[in-house]
Amino acid sequence: MPVWKSRFKDRDVTDRSVWMNRRTLMAGTAGLLAGAPALASRHAIPNPGYSTDEPPTRFEDITSYNNFYEFGTGKDDPARYASALTTDPWSIEIAGECANPGTHALEDILKGKTIEERIYRFRCVEAWSMVIPWFGFQLSALLDQVVPTSKARYVAFETLYRPEEMIGQRSRTIPWPYVEGLRMDEAMHPLTLMATGIYEEKMPNQNGAPIRLVVPWKYGFKSIKSIVKITLTEEQPPATWNILQPDEYGFYANVNPEVDHPRWSQASHRVVGSGLFARREPTLMLNGYADEVGPLYAGMDLRKNF
């Protein structure tokens, strides 16, 4: 993994020693996570193979600057309104081209899974970035469990539709429910995570509770939140932003600084929490994970397949 050169100031990040002390405390205090099915009684273990030395973004920034249109279009709307969402109990339907379809309670999905810590640089399409300590398990562990058939070439995802709790769904901003998709090899890559928490705390509602996708080499809108359905399919599935604005948002949504968004450059970015006048940093190909995931796109024109 690349070693990032941090431009964070002390006031912009949570001190690593404070975070580590908190992790030690929480590991021995399962009661602090009572009612959190994703992490209750489950101590996350660091995975240094998928991490970065750059300091994590402050918890307060991670949880207050969010795109989650189900709760509104403003960056602070999710933090303001997401407390209305009920996340326990939770189940996920798995359907399509697999030997073991069915609807499974989240606690059953988590049984036997290794919850890991992975610190990824996570980018928003507006050329902002965060460094987030995610906790979760490889999506491949779940897909292996349902045994994909030879026809399964893609994996489709669907977000909860519950307008009585998700205030943004009462508008027609986008067609609900929110949907996304990955190619099967992308879904099976060890970088692709089903995240259940951040900073070893249960996933905040505004960040996609209780379980969401994290694909660190793609733009943030690709990492669908509050997942209730996963479908293995032979055909490329729809993706919400690709449906709405296909000239701006391609199916792949890979971070590529050489391909500008029609309305802004993606060649550089600022770190969330660093201020509007902070120095911009160059955006790396595939968000810095080119060595790991570049072979997935060998022979593809990444300008055409953006």
- Whether residue 95 contacts residue 157, with contact meaning beta carbons closer than 8 Å, is answered with no
Residues 6+ apart with CB under 8 A from 62: 130, 132, 198, 199, 207, 272
Percent share of the chain, pLDDT over 90? 74
Question: 5 lies in a domain?
Answer: no
- Reported as a single tens digit per residue, the pLDDT across 13-34 is 444 445 444 444 333 323 223 3
CATH of the domain at 200: 3.90.420.10
- pLDDT at residue 39, as a whole number: 44
- Reported as a single tens digit per residue, the pLDDT across 109-168 is 999 999 999 999 888 877 889 999 999 999 999 999 999 999 999 999 999 999 999 999
Question: 254 lies in a domain?
Answer: yes
Question: 59 lies in a domain?
Answer: yes
Question: 261 lies in a domain?
Answer: yes
Question: 126 lies in a domain?
Answer: yes
What values do phi and psi take at 186, rounded to 5? -65, -45
Question: 1 lies in a domain?
Answer: no
Question: 218 lies in a domain?
Answer: yes
pTM above 0.85, yes or no: yes
Question: 300 lies in a domain?
Answer: no
| Domain limits for position 285 | 10-292
Give the residue ranges of the chain where pLDDT is below 50.
1-17, 19-41
Question: Structurally, how many domains does the chain consist of?
Answer: 1
